[in-house]
Structure 1
Amino acid sequence: MEPTYLFELVIVMFVAIIVLHYAGHRLGMPPSVALLAGGGLLAFLPGLPTIEIDPALVLVIFLPPLLLDGAWSIAVGRLRHHVIGITSLAVGAVFFTFAVVAVVTHLLFPSLPWAACAALGAIVSPPDAVSARAVLERVKLPRRLQILLEGESLLNDASGLVLFRFAIAAGITGSFSTADAVGSFFLLAFGGAVVGIAVGTAWVLLVRRLGDEYLIIAATALLSWISYLLGELIHVSGVIATVTTGLIMSWHQHTVLSASTRMRGTSFWTVVVFLMEATVFILIGLSLRGVVERGGGFDVVMATMGLPILVILIALILARFAWAFGSDFVVRLCNLLALDRYTPLGFRGATVLSWAGVRGVVTLALALSVPESFPGRDFILVASFAIILGTVLLQGTTLGRLITWARLTEPESSKPRFSMSQAEAAMAQAQFATIQTLAYDGQGNLIHPQLLQRYQVRAEKIVDYAERTEQYTPLLQAHFDVVLQAVATGRRELIRLHRAGDIDDETLDELERDLDLEELSAISAKS
């Protein structure tokens, strides 16, 4: 394929992403579903070549930045608080699902070697970080469930990758050791964490010395690949290395980044992550043609593999239900024994947690990386793709309705001690205390009277609002509606002056930036 033609295909794919994302939004369906379905349809367009995906390249390009972004935006404090629950899902649930799928597959196909059954179990056992983000960003969950699912999606790929490597090695060499697998997992995880700590610490030191915000943003963007590739280079978990780096960056970003760098970097990174997530689902859809052709066509696939794959999909879903409800039972049992450190999720919470197990790019990449000579490779590839389709189309489209049905509420124990308005009041009072000190010169003369009055009035009003939030909310909404209208009027006047030649481009840019900041502030306060 010529480079120019390849570039044209990439542009067409990006255009398709925008169209499909918009169509999904208009039709009320998750964007991941629209992109996956659209990619599947594009794959069979006449004249379009079969898309061959290099699995190693897909993992290296897409997985590190998406993992880093997830770790950057996750609540580190809640992650520490729920580390046992996250570990239970990211390690325990993955190992349990792996075993269930391997056993069910071997019962369905007794002639298929155990190594092939284990490979399929390893491939489909970890829910995908990209798919989880695509689903979770459209729903509202209690903090505990949100952090459990986000933390699981960041860490479970490491478990699946270790199991996959051992399953492939067992298929090739004919030997497998559970003790070696468990030991290797902990060694890879520990080594990955060490690499992540080293890279994250280096980033903190580097940012403190770099004065150019564009250099900081560029260095930050590259860090995900540096962590991942460095971890893989020394044969430890690149996934854990990347996640650890992201957590360190997340913790220190508030103290080492300037406001301008944070705003510009967030804008840049948001667009990059959007395009990467969308491209992943498009690529999964585009690979459908190659998978079907390898399986012998739709008719052959449905006739010979349809029912067994459906049984495996059901077993996969039930395994997650069994683990989630079993873990919740253990928590309840501990409470009965007066070991009441943790609160059970309850039936509705465990149901939502069980249903949020969507598979995606990691599953596809692992399936495609199975060696050509590996026993049962065609079945593994078709089954893996079918499970991706099944979980995205079934669970991805219904999770929102399930959450609505569950009517989950935030437990009092998981709510922060301060509300948003109370935190804002504390911040305003601290600012006023500083102004009270700096408003006077060394001789005690007031040199900033207007500044002192401004911050005093602001602190008083914010404290008053925190005490009577419900009463002031409608007035606040109306207030910022007026502010937004005033901003729009000011922007129109600026453009009129510029078009008339009364102000130059520099003046337009400077004043428009002030209006943009005022508009963003008003929108944030209104929401």
Structure 2
Amino acid sequence: MHPVELFELIVAMFVAVLVLHYVAQRLSLPPAVALMVGGGTLAFLPGLPQVELDPELVLVVFLPPLLMDGAWFTALAPFRRHLAGIASLAVGAVLFTAAAVALAAKIVVPDLPWAACVALGAIVSPPDAVSARAVLQRVKLPRRLGTLLEGESLLNDATGLVLFRFAVAATLTGTFSLGEALGSFAFLVGGGLLVGGAIGAIWVLLLRRLGDDYLMIAASVLVCWVSYIAGEVLHVSGVIATVTAGLVCGWYQHTIFTASVRLRGVAFWQTLIFLMEAAVFILIGLSLRGVLERVGGIGVVWQDMAVPAAAVIAAMTLARFAYVFAGDAVLKQLKRSGRRAAEPLGARAATVASWAGMRGVVTLAVALSLPETMPERDLMLVIAFAAIIATVLVQGTTLGLVIRWAGLREDERAHPPLDLFAAEAAMLRAQLVAVERRAYSDDGTLLHPRLLDSYRRRATISTEFQGSMDERQESIGAHFDVILAAVAAGRAELIRLHRTQQIDDETMHDLERDLDLEELGAIAARG
């Protein structure tokens, strides 16, 4: 394909992303579903070139920024508090699911070597960070359950990738060492932690010296690929390195970023992640044509591969249910025995956690990286693709229904000591103290009466309000509705003045920026 044609195809893909995303919104569907189905449909349009994904390129382009995005905005305190549960899902659930899938594959395909069965299990066992984000960000979960699922999606790829490499090596060489595998896993994880922590520290030091908005934003975008590539070059886990760097950067962003960097950087980053996330799912759909042509068409798949694929999908789904519910039963027994730290999820939350196991781009990329000499490679590739389609289309579209059925409520003990309004009151009191110190001259003359009155009124209103949470929210909403109406009126008048050439472009942009900031502040405060 000519480079210009490739660029045209990329542009067309992103246009399709916008259309499909809009259709998903109109039909109240998860965007991932519409994008994957749309990509699969586009793949068979006459004249469209076949899309062949390079697995290593897919991982290095898409995985680091999407992992970084999840880690950057992860609440570090809950993450540390629930690290044992996250590790149990990210390591234990992946290994257990891989074992169950290997057993099911061996039963339905007896000629498949055990090591190859384990490799297949490693391909489909880890839920995907991209798929999890695409679905979980559209639903509301209790804090603990959301932390567990998001933390699992960040870390479990490392487990699956290590298991896959050893299973493939064992298949091709006929040898396997459990001790070597465990040692390699510990080295990969430990090395990834060190590399990610070091790169995060370098990022902190660098941004404190750059002093330019665009340089700071660029450095913050590039750190995800730097950490991942550095991890891979040093033969440690690039996944763990990226997540660790993301946690460090996310923790220090509040003290390093200026307001302008934060506004500009977050807007740019969110747009980038939106496009990359969407591109992942549409590329999965576009790759369907190549997979089907490779194995001989849909007829061959339906006749020879449907039963093994169904068995593997059933095994990986039931294995996750079995692991989550077994772990919850252990926590219940520990709590009954007096272990206060043991907090079971409960049957309804465990059902939601079990059902939130979507597969995605990592599963496909790892499957595509199977060596050509791997036994039943085509079958394994079809099963991986079927697992992605089944989990995204079925679990992705029904997870919201399952959550509503579960009727999960936030555990009051999970709330921090201060709620939103108490924290706001403390912030306003601190602002008032700062203004009071600067409102008077050395001889006691009041220099800024209007400013002092404004901050004193804000702090007093925040402290003295006695209504309930709902009443306060209603009052705040009405207050900022008036502000938003005023902003809209000011914007309309500003546009009129500009259109009638009563003000120049520079004045227009300056006043428009002021209105934009006022509007953003009002929207944030109202919400």
User: Is this a same-fold pair by TM over 0.5?
Assistant: yes
Matches for 1:469-484 after TM superposition, within 5 Å: 469-484=469-484
Equivalent AA in structure 2 for residue 5 of structure 1: E
Q: CA deviation at 1:448?
A: 2.2
Matches of 2:54 and 2:32 in 1, distance apart? 21
Instruction: Give 5+ residue unaligned stretches, structure 2.
Output: none
CA deviation profile, 1:443-500 (whole Å, cap 9, x unmatched):
3333222222111110011123376443333232222222112111111111111111
Matches for 1:40-119 after TM superposition, within 5 Å: 40-119=40-119
Q: Does 1:195 align with 2:195?
A: yes
Q: CA deviation at 1:164?
A: 0.7
Matches of 1:302 and 1:37 in 2, distance apart? 19
Matches of 2:466 and 2:92 in 1, distance apart? 43
Match of 1:380 in 2: 380
Matches of 2:309 and 2:104 in 1, distance apart? 10
Equivalent AA in structure 1 for residue 95 of structure 2: F
Match of 2:499 in 1: 499
8 Å CA contact 1:103–1:117 kept in 2: the answer is: yes
Matches for 1:363-378 after TM superposition, within 5 Å: 363-378=363-378
Identity %: 59
- The DSSP-based 3-state class of the residue aligned with 1:132 is helix
- The DSSP-based 3-state class of the residue aligned with 2:465 is helix
Matches of 2:288 and 2:510 in 1, distance apart? 50
Matches of 1:500 and 1:449 in 2, distance apart? 38
Equivalent AA in structure 2 for residue 112 of structure 1: L
Instruction: Give 5+ residue unaligned stretches, structure 1.
Output: none
Matches for 1:119-518 after TM superposition, within 5 Å: 119-465=119-465, 468-518=468-518
- The DSSP-based 3-state class of the residue aligned with 1:101 is helix
Matches of 1:504 and 1:483 in 2, distance apart? 26
Matches of 1:210 and 1:77 in 2, distance apart? 29
Matches of 2:468 and 2:394 in 1, distance apart? 44
Matches of 1:201 and 1:466 in 2, distance apart? 45
Matches of 1:341 and 1:434 in 2, distance apart? 42
Equivalent AA in structure 2 for residue 516 of structure 1: D
CA deviation profile, 1:30-66 (whole Å, cap 9, x unmatched):
0000000000001111111211100000000000011
CA deviation profile, 1:408-434 (whole Å, cap 9, x unmatched):
001111111111111101111111122
Matches of 1:236 and 1:467 in 2, distance apart? 55
TM-score (norm 1): 0.98
Matches of 1:158 and 1:294 in 2, distance apart? 29
Q: CA deviation at 1:114?
A: 1.2
- Please report the RMSD computed on the Cα atoms of aligned residues, expressed in angstroms: 1.1
Equivalent AA in structure 1 for residue 390 of structure 2: G
8 Å CA contact 1:421–1:466 kept in 2: the answer is: no
8 Å CA contact 1:155–1:239 kept in 2: the answer is: yes
Q: Higher mean Cα deviation, 98-107 or 261-270?
A: 98-107
Matches of 1:316 and 1:491 in 2, distance apart? 55
Matches of 2:167 and 2:469 in 1, distance apart? 58
TM-score (norm 2): 0.98
Equivalent AA in structure 2 for residue 203 of structure 1: W
Q: CA deviation at 1:327?
A: 0.9
Q: Higher mean Cα deviation, 490-499 or 128-137?
A: 490-499
Q: CA deviation at 1:112?
A: 0.6
